[in-house]
Amino acid sequence: MDKTIYTLYKVLFGVYGHQNWWPIIENGRCRYLDDYRKRARTDDEILEIMAGAVLTQNTSWENAAGALAKLKGEALLNIESLDSVRAVDIAKIIKGSGYYNQKAAKLKALAGFLKGLPGGMLEIREMGLEAARECLLSVWGIGKETADSILLYGFYFLTFVIDSYTVRVFSRVWIGENEAPGDYEKIRCYVMERLPRNTLLYQDYHALIVLLGKNICRKKPLCEICPLSFMCGYAHGRTALRTI
DNA sequence: CGCCAGGGCCTCA
DNA sequence: TGAGGCCATGGC
Protein backbone atom coordinates (compact mmCIF):
# COMPACT_ATOMS: atom_id res chain seq x y z
CA MET A 1 0.00 0.00 0.00
CA ASP A 2 2.80 2.35 -0.93
CA LYS A 3 0.59 5.02 -2.46
CA THR A 4 -2.11 5.00 0.18
CA ILE A 5 -0.67 7.96 2.07
CA TYR A 6 -0.71 10.20 -0.98
CA THR A 7 -4.04 8.85 -2.22
CA LEU A 8 -5.59 9.61 1.14
CA TYR A 9 -4.50 13.23 0.83
CA LYS A 10 -5.72 13.56 -2.75
CA VAL A 11 -9.16 12.23 -1.88
CA LEU A 12 -9.54 14.56 1.11
CA PHE A 13 -8.23 17.55 -0.81
CA GLY A 14 -10.54 16.75 -3.71
CA VAL A 15 -13.51 16.82 -1.36
CA TYR A 16 -12.59 19.63 1.05
CA GLY A 17 -9.88 21.68 -0.71
CA HIS A 18 -7.43 24.12 0.90
CA GLN A 19 -7.84 24.56 4.64
CA ASN A 20 -5.75 27.74 5.06
CA TRP A 21 -4.18 26.75 8.33
CA TRP A 22 -2.95 28.11 10.75
CA PRO A 23 -5.86 30.42 11.73
CA ILE A 24 -5.06 33.85 13.13
CA ILE A 25 -7.11 35.89 15.60
CA GLU A 26 -8.40 39.14 14.11
CA ASN A 27 -10.56 41.53 16.10
CA GLY A 28 -11.21 38.81 18.64
CA ARG A 29 -12.31 36.38 15.93
CA CYS A 30 -10.58 33.34 14.53
CA ARG A 31 -9.93 33.66 10.79
CA TYR A 32 -8.54 31.30 8.19
CA LEU A 33 -6.74 33.45 5.64
CA ASP A 34 -5.19 32.27 2.41
CA ASP A 35 -2.92 35.26 1.83
CA TYR A 36 -0.13 33.75 3.92
CA ARG A 37 0.64 31.31 1.12
CA LYS A 38 2.18 34.18 -0.78
CA ARG A 39 4.34 35.49 2.06
CA ALA A 40 6.28 34.49 5.15
CA ARG A 41 4.70 34.69 8.56
CA THR A 42 5.48 37.77 10.62
CA ASP A 43 7.15 37.36 14.01
CA ASP A 44 3.89 38.27 15.73
CA GLU A 45 2.04 35.62 13.78
CA ILE A 46 4.65 33.01 14.64
CA LEU A 47 4.37 33.82 18.33
CA GLU A 48 0.60 33.56 18.04
CA ILE A 49 0.93 30.18 16.35
CA MET A 50 3.29 29.03 19.10
CA ALA A 51 0.91 30.18 21.84
CA GLY A 52 -2.08 28.72 20.02
CA ALA A 53 -0.32 25.40 19.58
CA VAL A 54 0.27 25.26 23.35
CA LEU A 55 -3.26 26.36 24.23
CA THR A 56 -4.87 23.76 21.99
CA GLN A 57 -3.02 20.84 23.56
CA ASN A 58 -5.67 18.20 24.21
CA THR A 59 -8.25 20.97 23.92
CA SER A 60 -10.78 21.96 21.27
CA TRP A 61 -9.59 24.76 19.02
CA GLU A 62 -12.67 26.79 19.90
CA ASN A 63 -11.69 26.90 23.56
CA ALA A 64 -8.05 27.55 22.72
CA ALA A 65 -8.96 30.34 20.29
CA GLY A 66 -11.08 32.00 22.96
CA ALA A 67 -8.16 32.04 25.35
CA LEU A 68 -5.84 33.25 22.60
CA ALA A 69 -8.24 36.10 21.76
CA LYS A 70 -8.33 37.14 25.42
CA LEU A 71 -4.54 37.09 25.64
CA LYS A 72 -4.39 39.25 22.54
CA GLY A 73 -7.14 41.53 23.86
CA GLU A 74 -5.18 42.07 27.07
CA ALA A 75 -2.09 42.88 25.01
CA LEU A 76 -0.27 39.93 26.58
CA LEU A 77 0.51 38.13 23.35
CA ASN A 78 4.10 39.31 23.18
CA ILE A 79 7.33 37.91 24.54
CA GLU A 80 7.92 40.65 27.11
CA SER A 81 4.46 40.40 28.68
CA LEU A 82 4.35 36.62 28.76
CA ASP A 83 7.75 36.65 30.40
CA SER A 84 7.01 39.31 33.01
CA VAL A 85 3.37 38.74 33.96
CA ARG A 86 2.83 36.27 36.80
CA ALA A 87 1.75 32.76 35.86
CA VAL A 88 -1.38 32.99 38.01
CA ASP A 89 -2.48 36.11 36.14
CA ILE A 90 -1.90 34.49 32.76
CA ALA A 91 -3.76 31.43 34.01
CA LYS A 92 -6.76 33.60 34.81
CA ILE A 93 -6.88 34.94 31.25
CA ILE A 94 -6.57 31.54 29.57
CA LYS A 95 -8.86 29.69 31.96
CA GLY A 96 -11.28 28.71 29.23
CA SER A 97 -8.69 26.60 27.42
CA GLY A 98 -8.36 24.18 30.33
CA TYR A 99 -5.16 23.03 32.05
CA TYR A 100 -4.68 26.72 32.65
CA ASN A 101 -1.98 26.48 35.30
CA GLN A 102 0.15 24.14 33.19
CA LYS A 103 -0.43 26.17 30.06
CA ALA A 104 0.43 29.44 31.79
CA ALA A 105 3.72 27.87 32.85
CA LYS A 106 4.26 26.60 29.32
CA LEU A 107 3.65 30.06 27.83
CA LYS A 108 6.15 31.52 30.27
CA ALA A 109 8.69 28.83 29.42
CA LEU A 110 8.16 29.64 25.74
CA ALA A 111 8.61 33.37 26.37
CA GLY A 112 11.76 32.72 28.38
CA PHE A 113 13.15 30.62 25.56
CA LEU A 114 12.38 33.27 22.92
CA LYS A 115 13.79 36.01 25.10
CA GLY A 116 17.09 34.12 25.15
CA LEU A 117 17.33 34.16 21.36
CA PRO A 118 19.18 37.31 20.26
CA GLY A 119 18.15 36.77 16.65
CA GLY A 120 14.50 36.19 17.50
CA MET A 121 12.33 34.14 15.12
CA LEU A 122 14.83 34.67 12.31
CA GLU A 123 17.40 32.78 14.34
CA ILE A 124 15.10 29.76 14.48
CA ARG A 125 14.32 30.03 10.77
CA GLU A 126 18.00 30.04 9.89
CA MET A 127 18.80 26.99 12.02
CA GLY A 128 17.19 24.68 9.50
CA LEU A 129 14.56 22.07 10.28
CA GLU A 130 16.46 19.59 12.41
CA ALA A 131 18.20 22.10 14.67
CA ALA A 132 15.05 24.20 15.01
CA ARG A 133 13.08 21.09 15.93
CA GLU A 134 15.58 20.02 18.58
CA CYS A 135 15.60 23.55 19.88
CA LEU A 136 11.83 23.75 20.25
CA LEU A 137 11.66 20.28 21.79
CA SER A 138 14.07 21.43 24.49
CA VAL A 139 11.49 23.96 25.70
CA TRP A 140 9.35 22.69 28.57
CA GLY A 141 5.79 22.26 27.37
CA ILE A 142 6.64 21.82 23.69
CA GLY A 143 6.41 18.20 22.60
CA LYS A 144 6.62 16.69 19.14
CA GLU A 145 3.21 17.62 17.84
CA THR A 146 3.41 21.17 19.13
CA ALA A 147 6.93 21.56 17.71
CA ASP A 148 5.99 20.19 14.30
CA SER A 149 2.90 22.40 14.15
CA ILE A 150 5.00 25.46 14.89
CA LEU A 151 7.65 24.44 12.36
CA LEU A 152 5.18 23.61 9.59
CA TYR A 153 2.66 26.40 9.99
CA GLY A 154 4.83 29.11 11.51
CA PHE A 155 8.13 28.63 9.70
CA TYR A 156 7.02 26.61 6.65
CA PHE A 157 9.55 23.89 7.41
CA LEU A 158 8.77 20.60 5.70
CA THR A 159 7.76 18.45 8.67
CA PHE A 160 4.62 16.38 9.11
CA VAL A 161 2.39 16.81 12.14
CA ILE A 162 1.08 13.68 13.83
CA ASP A 163 -1.81 14.18 16.23
CA SER A 164 -4.36 11.87 17.79
CA TYR A 165 -6.63 12.23 14.76
CA THR A 166 -3.81 11.17 12.46
CA VAL A 167 -3.16 8.08 14.52
CA ARG A 168 -6.87 7.28 14.61
CA VAL A 169 -7.44 7.75 10.88
CA PHE A 170 -4.29 5.91 9.83
CA SER A 171 -4.87 3.04 12.22
CA ARG A 172 -8.36 2.58 10.81
CA VAL A 173 -7.41 2.88 7.14
CA TRP A 174 -4.52 0.47 7.69
CA ILE A 175 -6.46 -2.15 9.58
CA GLY A 176 -5.92 -5.50 7.92
CA GLU A 177 -2.90 -4.28 5.96
CA ASN A 178 0.73 -5.12 6.62
CA GLU A 179 1.45 -1.62 7.75
CA ALA A 180 -0.15 0.46 10.46
CA PRO A 181 0.88 3.36 12.68
CA GLY A 182 3.70 2.95 15.18
CA ASP A 183 5.06 5.66 17.44
CA TYR A 184 5.30 9.36 16.54
CA GLU A 185 8.65 9.33 14.77
CA LYS A 186 7.86 6.16 12.86
CA ILE A 187 4.62 7.52 11.50
CA ARG A 188 6.21 10.87 10.69
CA CYS A 189 9.04 9.28 8.71
CA TYR A 190 6.75 6.79 7.02
CA VAL A 191 4.47 9.57 5.82
CA MET A 192 7.26 11.92 4.75
CA GLU A 193 8.93 9.21 2.67
CA ARG A 194 5.74 8.81 0.67
CA LEU A 195 4.69 12.38 -0.09
CA PRO A 196 5.90 15.05 -2.51
CA ARG A 197 8.13 17.52 -0.69
CA ASN A 198 5.57 20.31 -0.68
CA THR A 199 4.94 22.47 2.38
CA LEU A 200 1.45 23.57 1.39
CA LEU A 201 0.51 19.93 0.83
CA TYR A 202 1.75 19.04 4.33
CA GLN A 203 -0.16 21.94 5.83
CA ASP A 204 -3.38 20.96 4.13
CA TYR A 205 -2.89 17.26 4.82
CA HIS A 206 -2.78 17.69 8.57
CA ALA A 207 -5.65 20.18 8.55
CA LEU A 208 -7.73 17.81 6.41
CA ILE A 209 -7.06 14.93 8.79
CA VAL A 210 -8.24 17.09 11.69
CA LEU A 211 -11.36 18.06 9.75
CA LEU A 212 -12.11 14.42 9.00
CA GLY A 213 -11.30 13.30 12.55
CA LYS A 214 -13.61 15.91 14.05
CA ASN A 215 -16.60 15.39 11.79
CA ILE A 216 -16.46 11.88 10.39
CA CYS A 217 -13.65 9.66 11.67
CA ARG A 218 -14.74 10.23 15.27
CA LYS A 219 -14.29 7.73 18.04
CA LYS A 220 -17.62 6.43 16.84
CA PRO A 221 -16.99 6.89 13.12
CA LEU A 222 -19.54 7.80 10.45
CA CYS A 223 -18.21 5.47 7.77
CA GLU A 224 -21.39 5.77 5.68
CA ILE A 225 -20.55 9.37 4.77
CA CYS A 226 -16.73 9.07 4.81
CA PRO A 227 -14.95 9.80 1.51
CA LEU A 228 -12.20 7.39 2.54
CA SER A 229 -14.41 4.39 3.23
CA PHE A 230 -13.60 2.84 -0.16
CA MET A 231 -9.94 2.55 0.89
CA CYS A 232 -10.39 2.00 4.63
CA GLY A 233 -9.84 -1.31 6.38
CA TYR A 234 -12.07 -0.35 9.28
CA ALA A 235 -14.98 0.53 6.99
CA HIS A 236 -14.52 -2.89 5.41
CA GLY A 237 -14.78 -4.59 8.76
CA ARG A 238 -11.18 -5.79 9.01
CA THR A 239 -9.66 -6.24 12.42
CA ALA A 240 -6.04 -7.43 12.14
CA LEU A 241 -3.40 -4.83 12.90
CA ARG A 242 0.35 -4.74 12.62
CA THR A 243 2.83 -1.93 13.07
CA ILE A 244 5.10 -0.21 10.59
C1' DC B 1 -24.97 13.11 33.41
C1' DG B 2 -20.72 11.23 30.53
C1' DC B 3 -17.71 11.89 26.80
C1' DC B 4 -14.52 14.38 24.21
C1' DA B 5 -11.20 17.97 22.72
C1' DG B 6 -5.71 19.91 16.93
C1' DG B 7 -0.73 16.84 24.27
C1' DG B 8 2.97 16.79 27.31
C1' DC B 9 5.25 15.82 31.58
C1' DC B 10 6.40 12.85 35.35
C1' DT B 11 6.81 8.46 37.59
C1' DC B 12 7.69 3.80 37.93
C1' DA B 13 8.53 -0.71 36.52
C1' DT C 1 10.49 2.63 26.57
C1' DG C 2 5.85 2.08 27.75
C1' DA C 3 1.92 2.40 30.34
C1' DG C 4 -0.62 5.12 33.59
C1' DG C 5 -1.75 9.32 36.21
C1' DC C 6 -2.19 14.06 36.08
C1' DC C 7 -3.64 18.52 34.36
C1' DA C 8 -9.30 21.22 33.62
C1' DT C 9 -12.61 23.91 31.03
C1' DG C 10 -16.51 24.12 27.82
C1' DG C 11 -19.64 22.02 24.25
C1' DC C 12 -22.66 18.56 23.14
Kindly give the confidence (pLDDT) of every residue in chain A, 244 residues in length, as a single tens digit, with 9 standing for 90 and above: 568 999 999 999 999 999 999 999 999 999 998 888 779 999 999 999 999 999 999 999 999 999 999 999 999 999 999 999 999 999 999 999 999 999 999 999 999 999 999 999 999 999 999 999 999 999 999 999 999 999 999 999 999 999 999 999 999 998 766 666 679 999 999 999 999 999 999 999 999 999 999 999 999 999 999 999 999 999 898 765 544 4
Q: Among A163, A153, A156, A216, which residue's Cα sits nearest to residue A188?
A: A163
* Å: A1 CA to C9 C1': 41
Nearest nucleotide by C1' position to the A63 CA atom: C10
Query: For strand B, is any atom closer than 7 Å to the CB of A99?
Result: yes
The predicted model scores a pTM of 0.96
* Å: A60 CA to B5 C1': 4
* Å: A36 CA to C5 C1': 41
Protein residue closest to C9, using CA and C1': A98
Phi, psi of A191 (to 5 degrees): -65, -45
* Å: A236 CA to B6 C1': 27
- The three-state secondary structure class of A25 is strand
Q: Among A130, A131, A191, which residue's Cα sits nearest to residue A161?
A: A191
